[in-house]
Structure 1
Amino acid sequence: MSFTFDGRTNFIAGQWQGEASGATKEALSPIDRRPIGRMAWSSRETARQAIAAARNAQAAWGRTSLWDRAALLRRMADRIEKSAEPLSALLTLEQGKPIAEARFEIGKAADGFNLAADLVKYLEGHTIPTEDPSKRVMTFYRPRGVYAVITPWNFPVNIPVEYLAPGLAAGNAIIWNPAPTTALIATALTEVIAEADPPAGILNLVTGAGPEVGDEIVSNPGTEAVGFTGSVPTGRKIAARAAGKAQLLELGGNGPVIVLDDADLDKAVRATASGCFVNAGQVCSSSERVLVHTAIYDAFAERMVEEAGKVVLGDPRREDVTMGPLNNPAVAAKVAEHVDDALKRGAQALAGGGPAQGLPSDLYFQPTVLGNVGRDSLLNQEETFGPVAPLIRVESDEEALAAAHDNRFGLVASVFTRDIDRAFRFVEEVQAGIVNVNDTSNYWELHIPFGGASGKESGVGRIGGRYSLEAMSDLRTATFTIG
């Protein structure tokens, strides 16, 4: 299967179309900044057409048997599996991740549809005892209605599937607005799953700018619910524009990796390096700041430099390359700014430290290890989203806990220790939705709940398995009087 992109990238009511005005935007590969196709640059009116199509389709889809919905999702998974190689090649070309990581992501997308097909059959309610002996009370799940889904560019296949699969399984109709820098892979994914012959209008894709298309589908009264993965500033805007609607928001992270003095050094180094450099560090659960006990700091830093030296930076289409370019100029500029800020504040570049030279575009950044990073640095305070391992020295468990809470994020953390008591202390006290013990901060599986801690800015609700299905469904209560 091959894909061509001539500007007809909107999928509405089961039909492919362009923007009525003819507006398109060129897509550039981060590998070499060359054009790879054109997407429709859609208007609010086109977004409204998609909303109308979703509303026309949703009621019938919501009445469809769960078993029939599950069968459709399995057909979608089968189509993804059969098109895995061309999808992987396009994902690498447009997003920039190594081909091996692209294949993994496509495989997980197929798994996501199969998982939703499995779990929706067991989305069970309850019968509830009552004080009144003449009453019987039961709960069950109903679709929320029409879902607006907005997704980012770092995992432009698997993150959408985290909403599309459970959303469709639960009986919702969806309007999907993908990030513009990965709109072509979104188009290809939609083309593939449309081969499973879903009812027209239950899945609609509209490409274009977030402030136009995204804002319209979020704020329009024709949508009942919103799913979004992306940055905190955008999440705040969406939360305000979608006030009163059900919201499932997975936002930014800068969770700490905490390496205590009794850690297994080999395990801690390998897992931390993976968390720093996979997908060029463009993961919301990346190991973006590493708090290392002073007793093992020097040995850990030396080993991290060795791991950075093993990274093969280059054209991600090559099988031997393990890290490709950053996805877009904005993220590349932010990574450089954060690293420069740390260096100006007294950190030392132990490996890398800036953009790579001699590669086909200016989006390649060296795998970087910085020593003695200050807690006042942007690397510690903000989400960097790049291949950087900032090492922050801590003297005690208490200092590690204090440093862990330096910023407003609360998504994922890791702690490395051989002491189960210390591990449980950090699990219970670190303010994060997930705390991984003796593993990379990036560890997650599709059925595990994923989301931010209360009081932090990393989101609302949980994605993953049955948690997504519950979040994307309305819990209905029915009461009966008997006798």
Structure 2
Amino acid sequence: MDGGYAMKDAPANFIGGEWQTEPDTMPAVNPATGETIAQLPRSGRETVQRAVAAAKAAAPTWAGMPVFKRAAICVAIASAIDAAQEKIARLLSTEQGKVLAEAMGEVGKAADGFRLASELVKQLGGQTLPAEDPTKLVMTIRQPRGVYGVITPWNFPVNIPVEYLAPGIATGNTIVWVPAPSTSLVACALMEVIDGAGLPAGVINLVIGEGATAGDAVVVHPDVAAIGFTGSAATGKKIAERGAGKPLLLELGGNGPVIVFEDADLDAAAAAASR
């Protein structure tokens, strides 16, 4: 994997501030060559249990940290991503397949995401509302929900996670993150950079596994307060069913291009394009 991100050890889950391997593994594959470039953990439900427990344990201290201190940590993470931009981008290109220039842009945008979260959270306040009784003061405040489950796709495997991770931690929540299996190696690299920037243990926990096991275990866990997911409409429907009653942020579907040639079966092409 020439030019890729050189991780300290083999790819692993990151739970409670520690890298943890699994006995069962699955390959990380270069889509351009079909070459296996690493072995990733294939995590099950018990691993998710540990990750949620770590996030829950870290939640009170992280939520109680002053907003400006959480914002400063987000800025430090952004700077760390900037410093590792080319290394992460090369690994992203190798594992996901997009050209290096696009990968560089994606990683740069991810750093910007942490900077943006650091600024916006400092402007996030409550309200003072009028009360009928002049001796009373009515106020609203914003508080963290607790543990968020975040499940992210393969197409933008660095920036889309940051769209959840950055605002999630800036506002005082802790996270269990399950990336797409096909782009989990670059997720490990991003997690390593985030950890190196000084994020306290347990605030973000990375679990690598398949959606039907690791992803589902996050969605149904009683200690996961809310779910963020980007991916297919079919999977989003399952998450809405399995996570019923929890706040859900679901970004589903897409607008991928379709090329229809002159000799195509138009009925078949129309049906395929509408799925």
TM-score w.r.t. structure 2 length? 0.94
Aligned-partner SS, 1:16: strand
Q: Is the contact made by 1:5 and 1:39 (CA closer than 8 Å) also made in structure 2?
A: no
CA displacement at 1:58 relative to structure 2: 0.5
Give me the whole-angstrom Cα distance separating, in 1, the residues matched to 2:234 and 2:262: 21
CA displacement at 1:150 relative to structure 2: 0.1
Structure of greater relative contact order (alpha carbons < 8 Å, 6+ residues apart) = 2
Aligned-partner SS, 1:142: coil
Q: Counterpart in 2 of 1:343? A: 264
CA displacement at 1:8 relative to structure 2: 4.1
State the one-letter code of the partner of 1:38: Q
Give me the whole-angstrom Cα distance separating, in 2, the residues matched to 1:14 and 1:227: 22
Give me the whole-angstrom Cα distance separating, in 2, the residues matched to 1:55 and 1:170: 15
Alignment of 1:436-447 (within 5 A): none
Give me the whole-angstrom Cα distance separating, in 1, the residues matched to 2:248 and 2:267: 41
Q: Is the contact made by 1:5 and 1:184 (CA closer than 8 Å) also made in structure 2?
A: no
Aligned-partner SS, 2:202: coil
Q: Is the contact made by 2:29 and 2:35 (CA closer than 8 Å) also made in structure 1?
A: yes
Quickly say closer, same or farther: Cα 1:136–1:235, change in 2 above 3 A.
Answer: same
Q: Counterpart in 1 of 2:182? A: 181
Q: Is the contact made by 2:11 and 2:38 (CA closer than 8 Å) also made in structure 1?
A: no
CA displacement at 1:339 relative to structure 2: 5.2
Q: Counterpart in 1 of 2:41? A: 40
Give me the whole-angstrom Cα distance separating, in 1, the residues matched to 2:241 and 2:113: 30
Quickly say closer, same or farther: Cα 1:164–1:129, change in 2 above 3 A.
Answer: same
Give me the whole-angstrom Cα distance separating, in 2, the residues matched to 1:340 and 1:184: 37
Q: Is the contact made by 1:130 and 1:136 (CA closer than 8 Å) also made in structure 2?
A: yes
Q: Counterpart in 1 of 2:252? A: 251
1:84 aligns with 2:65: no
Quickly say closer, same or farther: Cα 1:2–1:345, change in 2 above 3 A.
Answer: closer
Q: Is the contact made by 1:342 and 1:377 (CA closer than 8 Å) also made in structure 2?
A: no
CA displacement at 1:219 relative to structure 2: 0.4
Give me the whole-angstrom Cα distance separating, in 2, the residues matched to 1:217 and 1:346: 40
Q: Counterpart in 2 of 1:147? A: 148
CA RMSD of superposed structures (Å): 2.0
* Aligned with 2:21 (options 18, 42, 64): 18
Quickly say closer, same or farther: Cα 1:209–1:132, change in 2 above 3 A.
Answer: same
Alignment of 1:416-435 (within 5 A): none
1:233 aligns with 2:234: yes
Q: Is the contact made by 1:78 and 1:110 (CA closer than 8 Å) also made in structure 2?
A: yes
The structure having more radius of gyration, on CA atoms, is: 1
Give me the whole-angstrom Cα distance separating, in 2, the residues matched to 1:251 and 1:342: 32
CA displacement at 1:132 relative to structure 2: 3.2
1:3 aligns with 2:6: yes
Give me the whole-angstrom Cα distance separating, in 1, the residues matched to 2:172 and 2:74: 12
State the one-letter code of the partner of 1:343: A
State the one-letter code of the partner of 1:378: A
Deviations 1:338-371 (A, max 9, x none): 8589911279xxxxxxxxxxxxxxxxxxxxxxxx
CA displacement at 1:213 relative to structure 2: 0.5
Q: Counterpart in 1 of 2:126? A: 125
CA displacement at 1:134 relative to structure 2: 3.2
TM-score w.r.t. structure 1 length? 0.54
Q: Is the contact made by 1:7 and 1:40 (CA closer than 8 Å) also made in structure 2?
A: no
Alignment of 1:240-389 (within 5 A): 240-254=241-255, 286=256, 288=257, 343-345=264-266, 376-379=270-273, 381-382=274-275
More helix by share: 2
Give me the whole-angstrom Cα distance separating, in 2, the residues matched to 1:377 and 1:210: 27
CA displacement at 1:158 relative to structure 2: 0.1
Taking every aligned residue pair, what percent have the same amino acid on both sides? 51
Alignment of 1:199-210 (within 5 A): 199-210=200-211
State the one-letter code of the partner of 1:197: G
CA displacement at 1:7 relative to structure 2: 5.0
Q: Is the contact made by 2:71 and 2:121 (CA closer than 8 Å) also made in structure 1?
A: yes
Report how many residues are paired: 272
State the one-letter code of the partner of 2:265: K
Aligned-partner SS, 2:49: helix
Give me the whole-angstrom Cα distance separating, in 2, the residues matched to 1:82 and 1:184: 19
1:61 aligns with 2:62: yes
